Amino acid sequence: MAKITIKDVARRAGVQPSTVSRAIHNHPDIKPATRARILQTIEELGFIPDRAAQSFRTGKNHSVSVMLPSPGNDFYIRLINAIDEVLEQHDYDAAVFPMLSQRRLARYQNPQALPYQTDGLMLVSLDPEQLYDDLHTLQGLPTVVLEVHSRHFDSVTLNNPLGGKLAAQHLQERPAETFVMCYAPEPQAAGVPSSGVFEERLQGFLQFFEKVGTPVPLDHQVRVNFDWPKVQEAARTVLSRRQAEPFNVFAVCDLFAHALLEEIREQGLTLGEDVRLVGYDLEPHPSGTASVHQAAEEMGRRATEMLMERILQPDLPIRHVQVDPVLKVGRS
């Protein structure tokens, strides 16, 4: 029961190993009949090409690594699915590397670590400058950065200021007292997602209202970090500061929106009537709310296509793509 190699197939089919190789890879210069016969033999013997030998020989292993903070939230799942879809078309596969621990952070400083044993790397919500002590770790590995802008690598970012602006426009068409629940940056945990995106959303939001001459006062901007009890408290604060119904709220991320939704329900307010809430990537999308929809799918597709191109042509100039969100309005 020794390993079946390309030689065994060749012998059995009465051809040379090189011809078997051509058959496997749909090489044009092969007579269909020969090809069919070889594939037949492959079936019979249950031959499976040795991928280690293939990647050794060709220098490609048809896989890419996706590094991200910690998956499981809806945005990342949609993103990974989009990536998978494009990769599949290129006959590639994705391995996921969630940066769950300090141990991994340290381990992956080493250029020999597993994530870099692929043909390409996608860094999601991770800033390479913060992640790596020395960018040299990536040794010229084809890389594209998602959700973060980078000078050194291809990148796909979301137009966060536009997201804020869309939220603002929506609310401005429904004039009322307007609040925003925004993110208060903390001492940065090493290598984790740059909080810049929330600030960008906020600024896009504030700037719109400034331009139209109705700036959002400071005490209508409630800042909080990601500590759930504090988030709940902040949601209560927002509601307590309102003068009357209806009033408007923009939540820069879904965690904040969920806290608000809970509080709104408890106080017996009606969404879309008493309070107009605009969230970010709300899922499920409750009626009576609006939500800036992040184009996770488009971001994933674009990034994957860029990566595939760079794998084929490593010397391409660096490219940056920005993807626009759209506003989704729940039917009320």
Instruction: Give the strands of the sheet with 177-183, arranged side by side.
Output: 221-224, 177-183, 247-251, 275-280, 289-293, 326-329
Report the alpha-carbon distance of residue 216 to residue 209 in Å, rounded.
7
User: Are the C-beta atoms of residues 167 and 157 closer than 8 Å to each other?
Assistant: no
Q: Which option in a second copy, DNA, none does residue 176 bind, with CB closer than 5 to 8 A by kind?
A: none
Outline where 120-278 has alpha helix (H).
128-131, 160-172, 196-211, 228-241, 254-266
Candidates 112-120, 169-177, 211-219, 301-309; binding stretch for a second copy (CB under 8 A) = 112-120
Helix (H, G, I), strand (E, B) or coil at 182: strand
The pattern of x and - marking residues 32 through 51 that bind a second copy according to CB under 8 A reads: ----------------xxxx
DSSP 8-state code for residue 271: B
Q: What is the DSSP string of 291-303?
A: EEE--HHHHHHHH
Q: Which option in DNA, a second copy, none does residue 107 bind, with CB closer than 5 to 8 A by kind?
A: a second copy
Question: Encoding tokens for residue 250?
Answer: 């923009």
Whichever of 116 and 250 has its CB closer to a second copy, that residue is 116
Return the residue of 5, 63, 130, 322 that touches a second copy, per CB under 8 A: 63
Least distance in Å: CB of 76 to a second copy?
8
Q: What is the DSSP string of 156-179?
A: EEE-HHHHHHHHHHHHHTS-SEEE
The pattern of x and - marking residues 33 through 62 that bind DNA according to CB under 7 A reads: xxx-------------xx--xx-xxx----
Q: Which of residues 252-291 bind a second copy (CB under 8 A)?
A: 266
Q: Which option in DNA, a second copy, none does residue 317 bind, with CB closer than 5 to 8 A by kind?
A: none
Nearest to 44 by CA among 12, 18, 80, 87: 12
- Rule CB under 7 A: say whether 12 interacts with DNA: no
Whichever of 33 and 52 has its CB closer to a second copy, that residue is 52
Structure-derived torsion over alpha carbons of residues 74, 80, 86, 89, reported in degrees to the nearest 10: -120
Q: Which option in a second copy, DNA, none does residue 77 bind, with CB closer than 5 to 8 A by kind?
A: a second copy
Q: Which residues bind DNA (CB under 7 A)?
A: 3, 5-7, 14-22, 24-25, 29-31, 33-35, 49-50, 53-54, 56-58
Q: Which residues bind a second copy (CB under 8 A)?
A: 48-53, 55-56, 59, 61, 63, 70-73, 77, 80-81, 84-85, 88, 93-98, 100-101, 103-104, 107, 111-114, 117, 139, 266
